[in-house]
Amino acid sequence: MVSEEGEALGTISDVLSTGANDVYVVSRPEQKELLLPAIRDCILQVDLEGRTMTVHVLPGLKD
């Protein structure tokens, strides 16, 4: 998973199902997990063949 700026964020380790939308749990080396909602505002591009996802990290999600 990479940010829209090209920063490597980590790998999806789990998917949480909530009432409104799924949430991707992103494992990041030596950092706390990133919880990223599976919504259009966040998920910009999915490349299944290349096994990458480009995302917009909303303010406050990395904190």
Q: State how far the Cα of 12 lies from the Cα of 10, in Å rounded to an integer.
A: 7
Contact call for residues 26 and 37 (beta carbons, < 8 A):
no
Report if residue 36 sits inside a domain. yes
Confidence of residue 37 (pLDDT cuts 50, 70, 90): very high
Range of the structural domain that residue 42 is part of: 2-55
CATH assignment at residue 8: 2.30.30.240
pTM, rounded to two decimals: 0.85
Distance CA 42, CA 40 (A): 5
Q: Report yes or no on 44 lying in a domain.
A: yes
> Residue 53 corresponds to which amino acid?
M
- CA neighbor of 55 nearest in space, from 23, 47, 41: 41
Q: Is residue 22 part of a domain?
A: yes
- Classify residue 51: in a domain, yes or no: yes
Note the pLDDT of residue 38. 94
Q: How many domains does the chain have?
A: 1
Backbone angles phi, psi at 59, to 5 degrees: -55, 135
